[in-house]
Structures are given as structure tokens and as C-alpha cells.
Structure 1
Amino acid sequence: MESASASAQALREQIAATEARLQKLKDELAQVEASDAARYLNGLSLNGGPVTPQNGSAKWPLLNEEYQRYGRQMIVPSIGIQAGQLRLKSSSVLIIGAGGLGCPAAAYIAGAGVGTIGIVDGDTVETSNLHRQILHSTSKVGMRKAESAISYLKSLNPNPTYIAHTEHISPQNAQEIVERYDLVLDCTDNPASRYLISDVCVLLSKPLVSASALRTDGQLIVLNSPPLPPGNEAGGPCYRCVFPKPPPAESVVSCGDGGILGPVVGVMGVLQAVEAIKIIVEGKLAPSPEIQEGLKATPTSMLLFSALSPQPFRSVRLRSRRPGCFACSKDSGLSLEGLQSGSLDYVLFCGLASSANVLTPEERIEAAEYAKIREREHLLLDVREKVQFDICHLDGSINIPFSAFQGGAKAENDGKVPTWLPESLPKEAPIYVVCRLGNDSQVVTRKLKESGLDSGGKRWIGDIRGGLKAWKQQVDENWPEY
């Protein structure tokens, strides 16, 4: 037995050493690729001009394989080779977010033959991503998204230079990452990132294609195009021009909470690729000073998509740069120094936090502890939306959606006992509130207490910490996680 244990331990140590060596080799490869890409980027023309032929002294500017690969694209009259394919080949595009938007956008941008493609994402692939994030697969669950996306893109088109940025975009790294590219696609899913990306694009004079999607709807805007210096009224509006103030934090719903139909986010990502290709082919990446002087403000529009509407697409015309805009007006208070110093707190500006934390420890209960007292008389209030409640719910729970407690809705029903409260429930019987992750349940618990439903402290009202996700982890491993 001891001999077998020793052999097993030796094998474990050998595996660990091999894995450490493999990781070291991956790190060395990443450094080499990043160095090569940096040298390549430094030689690119921001105006998307012709590149030096890769086939030596041959008179054709592309390789034979490239003529075959991009031929169907080059024969489109508005594309061609000199003003189209060669501009694409000499350009560099940064895609921030390798999720539902970034995946289709990256696939079509790589397929079109853009010369250098950077992917920014600090997350890893999860099973819940796969119904919409088409560059990832079941075999890549647990892999970094940026690396997973690039492995797919290389199999699609090995010609471009791919750079993986396996970190989230932040005020501290935004300049270093963005300044190396000609064009940026915002494929993120939260307001704080959108304001940050827009700000750095204004400071570095980069056009920005921004999109978002939730449930069955999406929107698309091309920002900072043309990318003129702050104060130049001919420049395109930035994200702050369109949305001077962020939405209320409580109204911000992620795909994880609100849901998303895969083809919807796919449509918006494909449209981002279309706009990116248009900007490159039309030579709108970085106008020279001479061209800048003759430019005039052009109308900007927001494209809205609704999958369930009889007319799914409609366009809303927007104003040009907003006077007094914090980012792109002549009175701009934005600077790269301020960005890097951390003086601009985007999370605070948007009123967001990673999770709700509005209750004291005494007002919360662990899922495992709640499981032990389920037989006692009490009320379990599930505040997920009905569509989620119908997927799965704990026996005996009643469903009052979180949305019923928002806005002007009052839990106390103007001082009366809520209609959802069973008349048979004793006045001092506790009320437990549960949601999916343990955030909304805290907010509802606080509202119920403020309404006086706790009878001056005689009735205990609290939430289940971590929600139904914690129930799966602590109590029932077969609970369906969605």
C-alpha cells in the first residue's frame, strides 16, 4: 500500500512539474507573439494605405492564397483591392469583450482579412456562454475567453496577427492597450466599461463601434467618427454625448439576470463588424490634419433592433458632439493623466457594485441553515421574475417579482397588509426572501422592513445569502443552475 501511495505521489509531482513547464512555455510564446505584434503595429499606416507585397518581387500585392480567400469580397464594387482589401490588411482592430457581441464580430473581422486583431477579455469560458458565444465550445470550458477566441480565429484565418489581452479593461491599462490599434469595438456588457472605453477612444483619437443587447433587443452606435480632437465640432459624438448620465444602478440588468436570445446578440455583433469594415474601407480611421480642416459635422444615428417587432430595425437620429461634454467638448475635463491616476472612478460614477450589501449579517441566513428549519411555519418569498420562477423554485415558495417592488410600487400597499401575504400566516412567523444570487433579495428585504411588515421587530424578515445558487452549492447539488 505504501509503495502504491509513493508511486501515486511521484506521478502527481511529475504532472505538476509538466504543467508548470507547459505554462512557462505558454507565457514565453505569448511574450514573443506580443513583441512581434507590437513591431508589426508600429509599421502600420493609420490611414490604411497599401502595404508592402508579402511575396517578394512579385508584382501582385497579395499572396495567391489571399486572392482565393478574399476574392468574393474584393469583387464587391465598394470594396476592391487598393481602397478595400489592402486597407483591411494594413489595419488593426481591438475587440473588447469576447462574449456574445465580440464572438461574431471577431469572426467576420478575421474572415475579412484585417491585419491585426486584439481580443480583450479577463473571463473564462462557462457552459452558460455557449448558446450565444459562438467562438467557444464545450471542450474550452474553463479556458480564458481571449485565448479560446483566438484559437478559433486562427483556424478560420491564419493570416492575421492575433493578440490576446487576458485581462479586463481598466483605467490603468486602457491607454496601453488601445493606443496600439486603429479602431475599437466595444463588446462589453456594463455601463462602467462603456464610459471608460469611450473616454480613452476620445483621448487617443480612435473611432469606436459600440453595441449592446438584452433579452430580444439591441442597439448600435458608431462613436467618435471622425475621431477629431476634443473641441472640434466636426468630430463624432462620444458615449457621454449620447448618455450624459448613466442609467440608475437598479435599472441595469445583465444578460445573466435578464436573459438574452443568442441570435439577437449575434445580429448586433455582426452589425459591429459591418460598421468596422466600412470605417476601414472608407478611409475614416485617422484623418490627416489637412483633411481635418475641411471636415464638417455629419449626422449620427443609433440603430435599434427588436427581434419581436414586425419591423425589427429602426434608426434614431442623434445630435453631433454635445456642447459642454466632459469628454469631447472644448471644455473637456478628461485627460490621460487623470485616467491613469484613478481619479475617475467609473464604478462609482455609474453607481454600480459587484453585489448588493445592504443587510447586516443578522438579517441574513445561510442556505444550509434555512434547509434545517423549512418544516417550521414561515413564508418563503421568491422575488425572481415569473419566467425564472417557472424554470425552478423551492416547494412552498410564493413568487412576487422584484419589479413589483421597484418604482412607485410599495410593499405596504398604502398601509394595508399585502395581498400576497397569506391570512393564515401568524403575525410573528418569519419571512425569508430568496432570489437567484442574493442581491435582489436584500433590496426587497429592506423594503419589506421599511414598510412595517416586521411589526416593529416582532417578525424576523431576512434573505437567504447567495440565493438559489447557494442552495445548489450547500443543499441540493441536483438543483438546476441556469
Structure 2
Amino acid sequence: MSATESLRLRIQATELELDRLKEELRQAEAAEAEDLDAEASEGQPTDDTPWKWPLSADEYERYARQLIIPQVGVPGQLRLKKASVLVVGAGGLGCPAAAYLAGAGVGTIGLADDDVVEVSNLHRQIAHSTDKVGMHKVDSAIQFLRSLNPTIAFRAHRGRITSETAGAIISDYDLVLDCTDHPTSRYLISDACVVHGKPLVFASALQTHGQLMVMNYPPLPQGDPHGGPCYRCIFPKPSPPETVTSCGEGGILGPVVGVMGVLQALEAIKILASGNLGREGFKREDLGPAQMLLFSGHVAAPFRSVRMAGRRKACFACGEASGLTRESLGSGSVDYIQFCGVVPAVEILAPEERISPTQYREIAEGSTKHLLLDVRQVEHFGVSSLDGAVNVPYRTLLREEAGEGIVPAWMPPDLPATAPIYVVCRQGEESQYVTRKLKDSGLGRDGRFIGDIEGGMRAWKRDVDPTMPFT
């Protein structure tokens, strides 16, 4: 471990210890003022003057600008103060969402995440900073939120929400925000909110686009048609895994994910301040048709809404015949990985069909005529590439007609029939599929070697050129 890494870890440990001491001080001060606080909420005298107002003097000052909004007022602020919200994901969505919930005075905010802060997070995840790189995201975010509003409570859930843990965590909160970025998490969180009767505010963002939905609101029992639709009502079947693009592959613009996170906080505040949550007789029809809000950051009119149907009678989670229960969810009987079609790491090539980055470096430095086919997206290729590489994106290659006698348009006309073809991608998975297709098309019939670079450009940066930018 280098000296700088050691110092960074010591600083993080010291910051955590300082946070712990600050929390102990806050609790001690709260205990000393317990009688004063109790009386203040009932009209307690803080000195010789009776205090007859339902909020404390600090709260009137802190929330002054939203107290005068008709949709909030003092009753709404009291509801926010008593409320608890779970934010699942302390990243691009969760950071702005949690910040505005804390600023609004939501009494208890829980954050769940299993990741640590990376430099690549900082352009969009506003609760984190450069000096917190390597720190657990939950700890980093709570440190930021506590500096924003030290008068509310925070709970840290340092781990991924699973079938086994979802019920115990989600049942402790009034409302849940899904700020994750993976299909398995989305279905799991939605199912848990249905069986535990919690409203769910969902958002997603990729590149310059975003989606927002309020689901399971009102959170009426399964089979009740007056309840709000769940995630499965809207997406009964997950998208094929090969069509799902992550932020790491497709990219994300910081303000786009920030907009969607802020909108999540807005929907949560509206629900909590309204007084509708838990109100007897409150039905989905009282809110009008369910809507999906679509955002596009690169057009003149960035917002539009799409009307959604209500609960589906045949929905696996909230429908009339649903067999999903708290017990079955907690037992892990629903396999979300299998349902979403998530596949393990790709291993379709034999070892002799692959070469290491260092082996390719030796080939590139030699005089052997060959072709390097880079199958990453154009945007990734534009950031960094290897000398002489020909860029043909993966999906373009998959759509190409292949067969005996068909010469691909990207093949250099002067490439000898026996010249080897090496395929490289971002991290060594798509290159395997391309290699197999090229072999099956007959391009290797004259004894030509066709193989991929194991580990892709990520491995090249790690093993050959650490200065190469990698996205």
C-alpha cells in the first residue's frame, strides 16, 4: 500500500470516528433537552415565555419557505417530520433525492447501498466528493446529509437489498425510493413494497433520458383494484439482457440523473405532506390516471407523460390471484436473476482462441500483418483506442449477414486471406460473441486465426498501458 493510500484510509477512518462522536454529542444533547422538546411540541416554555407552537423555533426558521406553500403548511410539515423514507441506492439518483428529502425535513431517512465512492461517480453523485473516494457510499452520503440538516435521523444499510433482507428493511419505512440501476433490484424492491404495503417512487436515467413513476400508491392489499399499479403491472416481462445498457456502457449526463432524483424527492414529499397515506377510503381514482413521466434532455420540450393502466388482475405481485407473500419473498423462492435473464460471465471461447493483452502487444510490435477489430460503441472508441484498430460496433456486427463467400464491408481489401483477426471489446465479453460469429461465417476457412483479447480494453489498461483513458 502506497503512502498516499495509507493516508487516505487514515483520513477516512478519522472522519468516521468524528462522525460517530458528533452523533453521540447530538444524542447527548437531545437527551438533555428531551423535556424541553416534548414541552415545545405541546406549547412548552423555553424560558419564562410559554411556547405554544407545534414546531420548534429552529424548524419554523429552517422550513419557513415551504411552510407558506398551501400544499404543505404546518400540518404537512408535521407529517414530514414524522415520516420515514428509504432511499435504495446512494448514487446518481439517490444523492439528489436524499438531499432534498433531508432539506424538506423528512424525519428519518434510510440509505441502502453496497458500493464505495469512485472518481467516475463524482460528475453526477453530488453527495460524494474527491476526498471520499474509497469510502462507503452510505457513510459518505450520510455525512453530507447530516451537514445539510443535523436535526433529522439517518439510518445506514451498508449492503445490497436481497430477498432475505428486503422485508426487514422496507417494513420499517413509510415510503421507498428505488434509485437503483438494475432490473433484478427493481423487480425485487417493487415486490417487497407490494407485500409490505409501501408506496414506491421509481426513476431511471441513461444518457440524456429518464423515466419516473409512482407505484403501489395507494398501497392497498393485493387484488384490490383501487390500489396503484406496481412495477410488474407496467413491465410484466423484463427486457432481454442483451438489450439492457448500463451507465458504464451507455453513459449518463449528470444533470439528467439529477433531474430524475429531484423529481423522486418531489413525489415523495407530495405523498407524505398530503395526508393521504393511510387515509381510510383513499383510492387510486382520487389521484387521476397513473402516469409515467418521460424526460429527454436534448429536445426543446423535455417532459411528456404517458398514461398507464391501473393494476393488472393477473399481475404476479399485486393481482387477484397473486401467490406472492412476505414469507415466500423472504424465503428467496422468487429467483430474480433467472427471471431477468441475467447470465454469468461469458465463457464461450476455448483458451486457445484467446490471447492476453501482453501477447497482443508483442504481435502489434512485430511485423505480422493482422487486423484488430474493436467492437465497442463509437463513443468509447473515440475516447481511446489501440493503434490500427478498425471500429465496428458490436450490435452492427450482429446484424450483418454472414455466410460462406460473404466478405464483410469492414474487411480491408488488402488483408491477406490467412492474416489473423483479433477482436477486442470493453471487458472481454462481446468480443467472444463476435469471434464465434466470425468463425461460423467461414472467415477462418483458410487457416486464419480468429480470436479475442481476453479482458478487453480494461485488461489492456491494467496490464499494458495504465495511462490509457478507459470508459
Give the TM-score taking structure 1 as reference length. Answer: 0.86
User: 2:150 maps to which residue?
Assistant: 158
CA contact (8 A) 1:55 1:63 kept: no
User: 1:254 maps to which residue?
Assistant: 246
Alignment of 1:200 with 2:192, yes or no, is yes
User: 1:170 maps to which residue?
Assistant: 162
User: 1:244 maps to which residue?
Assistant: 236
SS at 1:317 equivalent: strand
Q: What letter is aligned with 1:106?
A: A
Q: Deviations over 1:9-32 (max 9, x none)?
A: xxxxxx99x97xx69x969959x9
Q: How many Å separate the matches in 1 of 2:242 and 2:43?
A: 57
Alignment of 1:433 with 2:423, yes or no, is yes
1:355 Cα deviation from its structure 2 partner: 3.6
CA distance 1:54–1:136, shift in 2 (3 Å): farther
CA distance 1:436–1:157, shift in 2 (3 Å): same
SS at 1:469 equivalent: helix
SS at 2:128 equivalent: coil
Alignment of 1:474 with 2:463, yes or no, is yes
CA contact (8 A) 1:93 1:182 kept: yes
CA contact (8 A) 1:233 1:297 kept: no
Number of residue pairs the alignment of both structures matches: 447
Q: Which runs of 4+ in 1 moved over 6 A?
A: 293-297
Q: Deviations over 1:414-471 (max 9, x none)?
A: 8511011112222222211111122221222222223222228x22222111111110
Q: 1:71 aligns with which of 53, 61, 64?
A: 64
1:341 Cα deviation from its structure 2 partner: 2.0
Q: How many Å separate the matches in 2 of 1:54 and 1:416?
A: 83
SS at 2:41 equivalent: coil
CA contact (8 A) 2:296 2:303 kept: yes
Alignment of 1:340 with 2:330, yes or no, is yes
Q: How many Å separate the matches in 2 of 1:355 and 1:319?
A: 37
1:297 Cα deviation from its structure 2 partner: 8.3
User: 2:436 maps to which residue?
Assistant: 446
SS at 2:155 equivalent: strand
CA contact (8 A) 1:55 1:62 kept: no
Segments of 5+ residues of structure 2 without an aligned counterpart are: 1-5, 28-37, 46-50
User: 1:61 maps to which residue?
Assistant: 54
1:354 Cα deviation from its structure 2 partner: 5.5
Q: What letter is aligned with 2:67?
A: M
Segments of 5+ residues of structure 1 without an aligned counterpart are: 1-14, 37-49
User: 1:459 maps to which residue?
Assistant: 448
User: 1:300 maps to which residue?
Assistant: 290
User: 2:81 maps to which residue?
Assistant: 89
SS at 1:118 equivalent: strand
Q: How many Å separate the matches in 2 of 1:255 and 1:249?
A: 14
CA contact (8 A) 1:201 1:224 kept: yes
Q: What letter is aligned with 1:380?
A: L
Task: Output aligned runs, 1:234-383, within 5 Å.
Answer: 234-287=226-279, 290-291=280-281, 298-353=288-343, 355-374=345-364, 375=366, 376-383=368-375
CA contact (8 A) 1:51 1:90 kept: no
Q: How many Å separate the matches in 2 of 1:231 and 1:181?
A: 23
Q: How many Å separate the matches in 2 of 1:26 and 1:166?
A: 17
CA contact (8 A) 2:42 2:52 kept: no
User: 2:33 maps to which residue?
Assistant: none
CA contact (8 A) 2:292 2:305 kept: yes
Q: What letter is aligned with 2:390?
A: I
Q: 2:100 aligns with which of 96, 108, 124?
A: 108
Q: How many Å separate the matches in 2 of 1:52 and 1:358?
A: 68
